[in-house]
């Protein structure tokens, strides 16, 4: 077991390696989930034979226990490495871990895609022939044991109209109403990619797709927030090839989205990179109060993404206290200087967060590391 301590100091100094690449394998595509009742963290990643998408092999995981050493220090004690051998279909490679937790039945769902052989996404797009399957497994003991694979591909007619698709990567969510939502993007045959949701209203027994965004968009994350009138919204933040992130809002529980009005403000990196978004309770701004939930019922957004407009470097944390206004994003607080790639956020509670991220000294695929930080650190980092 290994342990990392996170304080209100620089998160770069508190970074802990969770998965480390070497000459034999590369770990990519982090996904993170926090289960509040057990105070458990679950981390997933792809294990590949090389950096190429076509060399993806299987999913791996680690679990962690959150410990509070003091009001200003939290630790995560990680388990040993474990292969998720149940997440596979014969003749296919497993990619894009996307976990979500169903609180009513205390069930951890792990969604992923299975792609035939070494067929690349670009081949599927160019030929209009889908070789990807939509699958999940579930666990009732936070990943200690798993069910067999459920393949949803043939039950969802929309997939017949797509050249290919993927889930997440990152995490899914459960709305306060109980609806489960998995972020998805699909390539229409002969067309462009568009983000959409896959959702269930019966605790995961049956699933259906929402409508695609009307704006070109790729890998996406979703989060639920409320306004001051307690109206629920689903926010979607998606990768783009147009230089800025795509932001959209749904007022009907993620079934259909409308792009936020006004010019985009969150820069995209180069040809694009995945980013993570979560919602969390509005925090107290009283200077005499420890970080924690305010008396307001509405929620804010937190977003992580490489902050450089050209290269995957300097992973930034961005804060938005008015989620319906894309002009209110803060400047980034850099939590990893240097090479930085995909990331996934989790809200721990009481103003604390964890971030699982691709990073390294020379390239962003050298390791997947975790940092823990709190709202006070974010606030100070943004204000500096």
Q: Are 266 and 247 in contact (CB under 8 A)?
A: yes
Reference 151, options 172, 134, 131, 169; nearest CA is: 134
Q: Could you tell me whether strands 276-281 and 258-259 are parallel, antiparallel, or unpaired per DSSP bridges? A: unpaired
How many Å separate Cα 182 from the centre of its chain? 10
Q: Which of 46, 268, 314, 358 is catalytic?
A: 358
Number of alpha helices (DSSP H) and beta strands (DSSP E) in the chain: 2, 26
Compute the Cα dihedral for 258, 262, 266, 268 and give only its sign.
positive
Reference 346, options 18, 2, 9, 1; nearest CA is: 18
Residue 361 known to be catalytic: no
In the structure encoding, which two tokens stand for residue 190, read together? Answer: 């002969």
Residue 85 known to be catalytic: no
How many Å separate Cα 129 from the centre of its chain? 27
Q: Which of 53, 344, 364, 366 is catalytic?
A: 53
Q: Which of 342, 344, 347, 366 is catalytic?
A: 342
DSSP string for 111-151 = EEEEEETT--HHHHHHHT---EEEEEEEESSTTSS----EE
In the structure encoding, which two tokens stand for residue 337, read together? Answer: 């200087």
Residue 53 known to be catalytic: yes
Q: Are 228 and 219 in contact (CB under 8 A)?
A: no
The set of catalytic residues is: 53, 342, 358
């Amino acid at each position: 077991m290994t342990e990392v301590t996170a304080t209100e100091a620089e998160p770069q100094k508190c970074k802990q390696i969770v998965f480390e690449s070497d000459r034999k394998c590369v770990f990519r595509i982090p996904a993170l989930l926090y289960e509040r009742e057990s105070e458990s963290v679950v981390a997933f990643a792809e294990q590949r034979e090389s950096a190429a998408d076509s060399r993806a092999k299987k999913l791996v995981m680690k679990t962690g226990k959150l410990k509070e050493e003091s009001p200003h220090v939290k630790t995560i004690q990680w388990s040993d490495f474990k292969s998720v051998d149940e997440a596979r279909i014969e003749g296919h490679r497993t990619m894009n871990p996307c976990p979500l937790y169903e609180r009513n039945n205390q069930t951890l769902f792990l969604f992923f895609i299975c792609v035939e052989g070494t067929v690349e996404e670009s081949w599927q797009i160019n030929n209009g022939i889908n070789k990807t399957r939509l699958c999940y497994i579930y666990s009732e003991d936070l990943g200690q044991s798993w069910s067999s694979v459920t393949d949803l591909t043939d039950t969802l007619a929309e997939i017949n109209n797509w050249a290919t698709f993927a889930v997440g990567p990152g995490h899914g969510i459960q709305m306060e109403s109980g609806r489960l939502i998995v972020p998805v993007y699909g390539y229409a045959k002969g067309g462009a990619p568009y983000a959409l949701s896959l959702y269930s209203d019966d605790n995961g027994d049956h699933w259906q797709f929402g409508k695609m965004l009307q704006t070109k968009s790729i890998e996406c994350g979703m989060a639920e927030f409320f306004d001051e009138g307690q109206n629920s919204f689903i926010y979607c933040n998606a990768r783009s090839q147009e230089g800025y992130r795509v932001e959209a809002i749904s007022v009907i529980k993620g079934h259909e989205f409308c792009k936020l009005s006004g010019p985009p403000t969150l820069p995209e990196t180069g040809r694009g990179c995945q980013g993570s978004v979560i919602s969390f309770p509005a925090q107290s701004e009283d200077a005499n109060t420890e970080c924690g939930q305010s008396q307001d019922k509405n929620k804010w957004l937190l977003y992580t993404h490489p902050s450089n407009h050209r290269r995957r470097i300097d992973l930034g944390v961005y804060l938005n206290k008015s989620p319906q206004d894309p002009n209110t994003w803060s400047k980034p607080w850099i939590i990893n200087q240097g090479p930085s790639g995909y990331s996934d956020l989790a809200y721990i509670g009481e103003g604390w967060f964890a971030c699982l991220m691709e990073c390294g000294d020379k390239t962003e695929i050298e390791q997947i590391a975790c940092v823990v930080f709190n709202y006070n650190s974010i606030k100070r980092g943004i204000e500096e």
